[in-house]
Structures are given as C-alpha cells and as structure tokens.
C-alpha cells in the first residue's frame, strides 16, 4: 500500500511539472498525402505509389562473396570496412557522421547541427522489456555524442515511429531546446515536456535559418502499439525521408524504404542530389521475402535508386556492428552484397562506406 501511494504521488508530481508541447502543422499547396481506401480506415496513410511487381535488378546467385575491403571476426559478422575511400570533392559544406543503424549527425554549411533518427540505446519501452523476457537480441551500443555535443543540436528529424528509429528516452536526453521535425500523426507519441514539434506531410518544407528541410516520400509503413482486440495504430502516422538543402546543395536521407517510383519523383522535384544516405539492409527473410523487400531496399535496389536520384556520392547505412540485424543474415552481409553488386552493375558513382562513428566531409 505504501508503495502504491508513493507511485501515485510521483505520478501527480510529474503531471504537475509537465509542460504542454507546442505542435505546429507545416504544409503548403504542393504537399501530398495518400489515404487508405479501406472502409473504416480512411484516416490511415498509405504509400504514394503502388507496390513494385518486378524489380529492375535482383541478385540470385553468389550474392555474398568474400571481399578484401571487409575484415571480420567471423563469417560476415563483427566487421570493419578497411577499403580506401574514393576522393570526392563537391564543395557542399556538409559534414556527415554516422553513429550507427539509421542515426546521423549532419552539420550544415551555416553551422547548424541536425540529428536524424537518433536512437542512442536499445529499443524503447515496452519492447525492451519484451526482449528481456524473451531473451531476445540486443545490439551493441552505437557510437554516441557527448552531452555537450547533443546540446548543440538545432533540429531533430524523425523518419517514422518504429522503435529502431524513434526512442522516447533519447528525446529526454536531447531536451526541448531544439526543433523536432516529424511526419503527420507523430506528435502524440512525444512525452509532454515543452517540446516544439513540427508535423509535416510529404513535400512540406521547414526553414532552419538558411537551410531548407523538406519531408519527402518513402515506401514503408508505420506502427508502434498493438494490444490484441483493443488497439492498433497501423499507418496512423506518416513515414518518409528528409532532404536538407542549403545554397543549392542537397543531402538526402531516405529513411526506411523499399524501392518504388518515389525516387524518380524526388529527383524530378528537387534535381540531382549531392549526398545520398541510402539504406541497404533489412531485406532478407526466408519466410516473407516479398514483404521485407517491399519495405526495405536491397543493395541492388539502392544502386538503382542512386541513379534515379542523381546522387553524386552515396553513404550506405542499416548494416553494422550496432544494428539489431532485423531482416539480415549477419551484421555485414548487406555490405558484402553491395560491394558485389556494385561490381556486377558497373556502378560508377562513388560510395563512401563508413564504420560506426566515422565522419566524412563533402
């Protein structure tokens, strides 16, 4: 009884100290969304383009041969990329740091710091509890930032609400002295603590000083909460990628996505992309191969997409020692496949492969 009273008191104190968030809907005449046509779910979102029936390229045989540029402790597992980086001089003024999985730190030419999909630890509650109970897989912790560096953040961008891209504990770490840019339907997942949240549909834009941040489509889905027969939030919030633009120079973060016509559409609207941050992992499944590829690009899909986007340089992500290996053979199988398919497709554009914690300037 004493414990319950203490918990109730703590809850009342926390509610009394909370500060209401500020939620701003950012939109324009050119913004787009697409809603479900299923009866009773007309308020749910759907992908802008229909599913791909036939992919342009598919690796079928010997997709993971050894490569001298990757050194591993075991077969395609616990690896480091040791190959030479291609020399790329684009004079964009952007600095890119990959912390692991989908988390990037982007420094803009006007000295703004942007965090993309920051997840500094494991899955958020309650999935972390479920993993402990089921003795599930936890990733190695990614590279991180000091609290001082985190406090320099000017904007935080989230691509969608899946647990490996959005963690509420990290919001508390980052704090409320920054702008949060999120897809539509996302703000309700934030704790109430005075956060400034900007919800955006596809092709909406936000000005961060002299930098324009555009929310663009991806071919994916969203869900976070499922209570059997009581509650589900399938596609109740939007998903997408981000295009960061300064003085005509562009960085594109694709978010989780499968291959679709949206890559060509982004190029048609914004032009060629200087720096593309493209996912290459989480496409493998023995039980549901079509589903996994529908919502995650294979390495060869990413190569095709890079051409359609007009990328001048590409940084791949999604693999690595700090990933949960969901939909992957091993920690680095996707990277082995990428290097193999680059050779098979005679991909000429430079791909800059980073290990977690490494940076590149363009």
Q: What are the tens digits of pLDDT across the range 34-55?
A: 999 999 999 999 999 999 999 9
Query: Do residues 203 and 64 touch, judged by C-beta distance below 8 A?
Result: no
pLDDT over 50 (residue 7): no
Look at the alpha carbons of 174, 175, 181, 187 in this order and tell me if their dihedral is positive or negative. Answer: positive
Is beta strand 231-232 parallel, antiparallel or unpaired with respect to 241-246? unpaired
* Main-chain phi, psi angles of 231, to 5 degrees: -155, 140
pLDDT over 90 (residue 127): no
pLDDT recorded at residue 231 = 86
| Cα gap 139→142, rounded to integer Å | 8
Query: Do residues 133 and 356 touch, judged by C-beta distance below 8 A?
Result: no
Number of H helices, E strands in the chain: 8, 18
pLDDT over 50 (residue 106): yes
| Cα gap 164→209, rounded to integer Å | 29
| Cα gap 68→87, rounded to integer Å | 19
pLDDT recorded at residue 130 = 58
Q: Answer left, alpha or beta for residue 20, where phi above 0 means left and psi between -120 and 50 means alpha.
A: beta
pLDDT recorded at residue 1 = 41
| Cα gap 343→336, rounded to integer Å | 11
Q: How far is CA 301 from CA 161, 232, 270, 278, in A?
A: 23, 31, 21, 10
Exposure string for 200-234, b = 16+ CB within 10 A, e = fewer: bbbbbbbebeebbbbbbbbbbbbebeeeeeeeebe
pLDDT recorded at residue 325 = 79
Task: Return the structure tokens found at 8.
Answer: 């109730």
* pTM of the shown model: 0.92
| Cα gap 329→119, rounded to integer Å | 22
| Cα gap 163→111, rounded to integer Å | 29
Q: Answer left, alpha or beta for residue 149, where phi above 0 means left and psi between -120 and 50 means alpha.
A: alpha
Q: What is the mean pLDDT of residues 65-78?
A: 96
Query: Do residues 199 and 186 touch, judged by C-beta distance below 8 A?
Result: yes
Whose tokens are 């039980």? That residue is: 287
With a pLDDT cut of 90, the percent of the chain lying above it is 81
Query: Do residues 234 and 221 touch, judged by C-beta distance below 8 A?
Result: yes
pLDDT recorded at residue 136 = 60
Q: How confident is the model at residue 65 (pLDDT cuts 50, 70, 90)?
A: very high
Q: How confident is the model at residue 258 (pLDDT cuts 50, 70, 90)?
A: very high
| Cα gap 277→260, rounded to integer Å | 16
The top-scoring range by mean pLDDT among 116-130, 136-150, 163-177 is 163-177
Q: Answer left, alpha or beta for residue 166, where phi above 0 means left and psi between -120 and 50 means alpha.
A: beta
| Cα gap 245→92, rounded to integer Å | 10
pLDDT digits (tens, 9 = 90+) for 205-228: 999 999 999 999 999 999 998 788
| Cα gap 305→216, rounded to integer Å | 15
Is beta strand 313-317 parallel, antiparallel or unpaired with respect to 359-361? unpaired
Of the candidate ranges 127-141, 176-190, 234-248, 261-275, the one whose mean pLDDT is the lowest? 127-141
| Cα gap 226→157, rounded to integer Å | 25
Q: How confident is the model at residue 2 (pLDDT cuts 50, 70, 90)?
A: very low
């Amino acid at each position: 009884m004493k414990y319950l009273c203490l918990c109730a008191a703590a809850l009342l104190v926390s509610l009394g100290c909370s500060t209401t968030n500020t939620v701003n809907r950012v939109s324009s005449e050119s913004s787009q969304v697409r809603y479900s046509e299923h009866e009773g779910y007309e308020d749910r979102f759907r992908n802008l383009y229909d599913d791909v029936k036939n992919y342009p390229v598919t690796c079928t045989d010997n997709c993971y041969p050894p490569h001298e540029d990757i050194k591993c402790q075991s077969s395609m597992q616990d690896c480091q990329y040791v190959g030479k980086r291609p020399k790329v001089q684009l004079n964009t003024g952007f600095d890119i740091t990959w912390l692991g999985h989908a988390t990037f730190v982007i420094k803009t030419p006007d000295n703004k710091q942007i965090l993309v999909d920051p997840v500094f630890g494991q899955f958020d509650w309650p999935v972390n509890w479920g993993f402990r109970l089921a003795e599930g897989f936890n990733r190695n912790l990614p590279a991180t930032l000091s609290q001082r560096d985190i406090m320099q953040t000017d904007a935080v961008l989230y691509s969608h609400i899946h647990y490996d891209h959005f963690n509420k504990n990290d919001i508390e770490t980052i704090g409320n002295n920054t702008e949060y840019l999120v897809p539509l339907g996302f703000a309700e997942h934030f704790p109430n603590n005075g956060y400034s949240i900007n919800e955006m549909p596809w092709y909406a834009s936000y000005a961060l000083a002299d930098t324009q941040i555009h929310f663009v489509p991806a071919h994916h889905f969203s869900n976070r909460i499922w209570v059997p027969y009581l509650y589900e939030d399938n596609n109740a919030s939007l998903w997408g990628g981000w295009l960061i633009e300064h003085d005509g120079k562009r960085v594109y973060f694709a978010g989780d996505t499968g291959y679709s016509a949206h890559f060509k559409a982004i190029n048609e609207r914004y032009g060629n992309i200087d720096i593309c941050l493209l996912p290459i992992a989480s496409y493998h499944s023995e039980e549901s191969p079509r589903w996994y590829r529908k919502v995650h690009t294979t390495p060869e899909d990413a190569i095709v997409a890079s051409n359609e986007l007009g990328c001048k340089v590409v940084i791949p992500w999604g693999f690595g020692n700090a990933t949960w290996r969901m939909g992957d053979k091993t920690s680095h199988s996707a990277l082995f496949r990428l290097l193999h398919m680059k050779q098979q497709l005679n991909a000429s554009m430079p791909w800059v492969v980073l290990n977690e914690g490494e940076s590149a300037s363009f």
